[in-house]
A and B are shown apart, each in its own frame.
Chain A
Amino acid sequence: MCDAIRFSRSEFPNEELFRFGLRGNNEDIKVSYFANNAVLPVLIHGESKIIPWGNKKQTHFPKTGFCKWEALISGGWQWLKPRAVLIVVKAAQLNGVWFQVKKGIKGILVEDKKRNKRVYILTEPSTHYFKIMTGSMRMPILEDQML
């Protein structure tokens, strides 16, 4: 689970950022999940892309920003043909606590027939450390990092 993320502007081409209104001079870009234009910075086959974060409006994508690992491995998302991606953020926030993300967060990318894409953050039950730090029972699955 995450309420917001932060990533580095310099790691993404300007045209990608501008497409989603991420203008400005700040090197450190913050995106809230609750914003209308919530997006995630993603690495797909070595390419840096900005993709909408989950779904809040359309009905054919799951109406959430997160995917439970347990649901994924039990086949619950199979109909969407999800692809694994790395969400390349530097920090994430949950319940008001920003925590360092060293390499990224694991996510899945889904696409509809009209080639609209969405990225969902993969989550798992929290470790004791994460529970104490944020008060949350679920946490994002981090790449090569244990909290």
Chain B
Amino acid sequence: MKTIGHIDADCFYVSCERVRDPFLKNKPVVVLGNQGACVIAKSYETKIFGITVGMPVWQAKKACPTLICVKRDFAWYEVISEAMRQVFRRYSDCVEYYSIDESFIDFGEYPKSWVTLAKTIQNEIMEEVGIPVSVGIGMTRIIAKIGSDKNKPFGVCIVTPKNITKFLKEVTIQEIPGIGSKLSEKLLMRKINTAFDYIKKPSPYIKKLLHKPGEEIWYELQGKSILPIRSIRPEHKVVSRGGSLWGRHGNQDYIWAFLLRHLERFMDALWKQEVEIKSIMIVLIAENGIPFKAIVPLPDYSNSYLDLMKALKSAFFHIFSPGTKYVMAHIVGTPIRSIYGKQMSILEKDTKSKKWTNLKQTLNKQFGLFTVRSGATAYAPDVFSDKAGDVEISDLEGKFCF
């Protein structure tokens, strides 16, 4: 019988901040994103004040006047996340990076006490990394995941063949991973209210209703492990950079200047991940929330600044509409492939532009991401003169950021 664990950090971003600033302990704390405008993470102490993720900062401060706001630092959170996984790897080679604050561990067949195992991991993470975690251990990944959420914060939940029935009767349909609100409604209409009700239905019934994913959940809830723990992260399928335009703007030159800033960050991501893209997509979001998109395929895979800028410009002028005010812009590159393993051309093309690109990269690496940039960025002087603008701490690999 397999032993699968799910470890979920409690209030992860705030906990990470508390590791390096103990002053924040036991106080209501929020982490702000979106250029300081809204809450993206909160501590348990904020619960009684009704603070929620996504709440604007002006509303949060009104609800809790003593609230302390911290600026998000994804690079730091990734460091802590990796420190946690290093502890997990002492127990198994099969550790899955599910998200920055959640991991699965496949312990194989673990004959000793699961309670002791869970508590040992919890205490080691707390002592060595400083992060409180909740642990769920069960025979399958879905059971373990539900379990870790059951007794938060700093909780432990163990599900064995002896107590699985009692456990499933206490799990609502909405708590099952993979069953969203629409599917929940479908099941509730059929009087399937709990995980126990779910497994009592025959498998063909569930498969007809929810297809293969639903059937997989059915087996997993029964204690039959069919969804593997993946220790190798799947490769990224897209690279994306973008965000707020710092207000509502209708000026073409300003928006293009801002897009060039996103492009610099986008290029930085391509070079760091050592990938190229085959097409580039631009998304402009108008003030009424409507997105406008354009995709430009490239002649070949590329990570050349000049190639991508040309394509981006073409896409931008295609969708930009004078008179419309825009609030956000994103650049998405897909499909992507590694720069290695491609067949090199006999004829080295466009060496001049390559030399220019390499020089620009070297200078920007040393002096700041936007040190050498297009002259068109002069139309957004406030953006490029902002002292905090150079420090792009939200640009973490694989993360869609503000």
Contact = CB atoms under 8 A, between A and B. Distances in A.
Contact of A100 (B36, B66, B69, B246): B69
Contact of A128 (B17, B32, B389): B389
Interface residues of A, number: 19
Nearest to B393: A146
Given A100-B21, A102-B21, A133-B57, A128 B386 contact: yes
Interface string B56-96: 01000110011111110000000000000000000000000
A146 B387 contact: yes
B61 A99 contact: no
A97 B57 contact: yes
A98 B36 contact: no
Contacts of B66: 98
Interface in B30-53: 32, 35-37
Contacts of A131: 36
Given A133-B37, A133-B69, A147-B71, A97 B21 contact: no
Interface in B255-293: none
Contacts of A8: 23
Query: What interface size band does chain B fall in?
Result: 20 to 34
Contact of B388 (A96, A99, A100, A146): A146
Interface string B154-168: 000000000000000
Contacts of B388: 127-130, 146-147
Interface string A115-147: 000000000000111111100000000000011
Interface string B192-203: 000000000000
A127 B36 CA distance: 10
A98 B68 CA distance: 5
A90 interface: yes
Contacts of A133: 32, 36-37, 57, 69
Nearest to B23: A90
Interface in A11-48: 28
A132 B38 CA distance: 9
Interface in A84-112: 90-91, 96-100, 102
Nearest 5 A/B pairs, CB to CB = A133-B36, A127-B388, A132-B36, A90-B23, A129-B36
Given A102-B21, A131-B36, A133-B57, 8 more contacts: A8-B23, A96-B65, A127-B386, A128-B36, A129-B388, A132-B36, A133-B32, A146-B391
30 contacts: A8-B23, A90-B21, A91-B68, A97-B57, A97-B61, A97-B69, A98-B68, A98-B69, A99-B70, A99-B71, A100-B21, A100-B24, A100-B68, A100-B69, A127-B388, A128-B382, A128-B386, A129-B35, A129-B71, A129-B388, A130-B36, A130-B388, A131-B36, A133-B32, A133-B36, A133-B37, A133-B57, A147-B36, A147-B71, A147-B388
